[in-house]
Amino acid sequence: MALDIIAFGINHKSASVDLRGRVSFAPETVVETLRSALPSLKINEIAILSTCNRTEIYAVGELSDQQLLEWLAATKALDAKALEDCYYCYRGTDAIRHMICVASGLDSLVVGEPQIFGQIKSAYSVAQKAETVSGQLNMAFQWAFAVAKRVRSETAIGQNPVSVAYASVSLAEQIFSDLKSAHVLLIGAGETIELVARYLRDKQIGQITVANRTLERAKELAEDFSAEAILLADMPEHLHKADIVISSTASQLPVLGKGAVETALKKRLHKPMFMVDVAVPRDIEPQVEALDDVYLYTVDDLEEVIQDNLKARQTAANLAQQIVDEEVEKWPSKQRELSVVDTIKAFRDSAETIRDAEVQKALASLERGQDSSEVINTLARNLTNKLLHKPTTKLKQAGKQGCDDTINVTQELFDLDKK
């Protein structure tokens, strides 16, 4: 009997940005964490999705909520009580529904945002690399991806760009009436920052500076947007020039502190600075918010900014939910299909083991000079006998016990004429 698929985690709806930051997984740690989780949790499969808005564990095995809660808390050096009121756990069909909704963008901070599809595909790829996904979880991911693509193609949920990146730029546009004269500092060079840069270019932003841990990647991004590239370490020398600062890195510690911002404000003669920190864990120290002339927003603050954009997608989201409901109903049959695939694989493996053994015997006979016709006949006879031995024994038992169903299925399976 197949074990339940489990989807366990916290997200922007259930936990604060600070708590989400404390349970997030740095990309370079995920493979090792996955590999150690299998024996630790005594499960068959596991994958981890960790973004600025959610950390989720997808698993296959017999696990209680408490076991998962304690494992996550221990892994992140937290008291389990800190997570007790903000986690969710789905099982079976509900877990599949949740995975599909996540992949489709229906469970995102911004409904329909496209980045999550790439993020969950990346989580799947990392789990493949760690060799911690196989039968059921592999099928679940493939099913979620297929439904998400259907949602994108059959609804308008992905139209009219709406994302955390887009919301950041929209907020900047509300504060600065003329972006053409503004200077923006982008911290990081990942997908979110690239989207921000694209939106800013569309708004004809005055000047862009890209700061990144590696200068090469900063230059790659800067070239696409006629921007200046600098290292994170050089930010203090450039920060005072920035009217707008938007940050999104994968750093586990803040990359911009209160002291650096205070110094920049003095050089600016306290001309206001607008900052958006969309990273989890946070890139900009929370204490920066207390400074006069600084307007600091986090990913949680952006939720209010994007409400107007959500209205245009609500109809599409309703249609998408209908598609999800329709596809979730098919999951039980997909699970049965999976069990058949496993049986077919086991059947083929058994047959191929017998074949390989008999071929080796035949080759040995030929090397000893035995007549080739005799060797072929022996090979064919042995293969037939060994492949049919177990089915024949089972059929005889079925006949003695009056198990007509077994006999009828065998006749249908092998297309045998009833006599």
Q: Where exactly are the structural domains of the chain?
A: 5-158, 164-306, 336-413
Residue pair 138/38 in contact (Cβ under 8 Å)? The answer is: no
What are the residue numbers of the active site?
A: 52
pLDDT of 304 above 80 = no
pTM for this structure? 0.61
* Helix intervals (H) in 24-160: 30-41, 65-75, 93-104, 115-130, 135-154
Using one digit for the tens of pLDDT, what is the confidence trace for 335-348?
Answer: 777 667 667 777 88
Residue among 293, 280, 289 at smallest CA distance from 254: 280
Six token digits for residue 92: 């079976």
Residues 6+ apart with CB under 8 A from 46: 34, 37, 38, 57, 58, 59, 60, 127, 132, 133, 137
Q: What digits encode the pLDDT tens for the residues 12-33?
A: 999 999 999 999 999 999 999 9
* pLDDT value of residue 330: 87
Is the model's pLDDT at 230 over the cut of 90? Answer: yes
Task: Determine the topology of domain 164-306 in CATH.
Answer: Rossmann fold (3.40.50)
Please write the tens of the pLDDT for every residue from 136-194: 899 899 999 999 999 989 988 876 556 788 888 888 888 887 899 999 999 999 989 99
Average pLDDT, the chain: 90
The mean pLDDT value for 72-97 works out to 94
Q: Which CATH architecture has domain 5-158?
A: 2-Layer Sandwich (3.30)
Spatial contact of 43 and 61, defined as CB atoms under 8 Å apart: yes
Burial environment of residue 177 by CB neighbours within 10 A (0 to 12, 13 to 18, 19 or more) = exposed
Task: Show Cβ contacts of residue 164 under 8 Å, excluding neighbours closer than 6 positions.
Answer: 52, 109, 110, 113, 192, 278, 299, 302
Question: CATH topology of 5-158 equal to that of 164-306?
Answer: no
Which among 11, 18, 139, 151 has a CA at the least distance from the CA of 87? Answer: 11
Per-residue model confidence (pLDDT) at position 101: 95
Q: Which of 77-81, 219-223, 298-302 has the lowest mean pLDDT?
A: 298-302
Q: Which pLDDT score is estimated for 113? A: 79
Q: Quick: pLDDT tens for 109-132.
A: 878 878 899 999 999 999 999 999
Mean pLDDT across 377-400: 87
Strand order through the sheet with 207-212: 228-231, 207-212, 183-187, 244-247, 273-277, 294-298
CB within 8 Å of 49: residues ≥ 6 apart: 9, 55, 56, 58, 102, 119, 120, 123
Task: Look at residue 417 and tell me whether its pLDDT is greater than 80.
Answer: no
- The answer to whether 136 and 127 have CB atoms below 8 angstroms apart is no
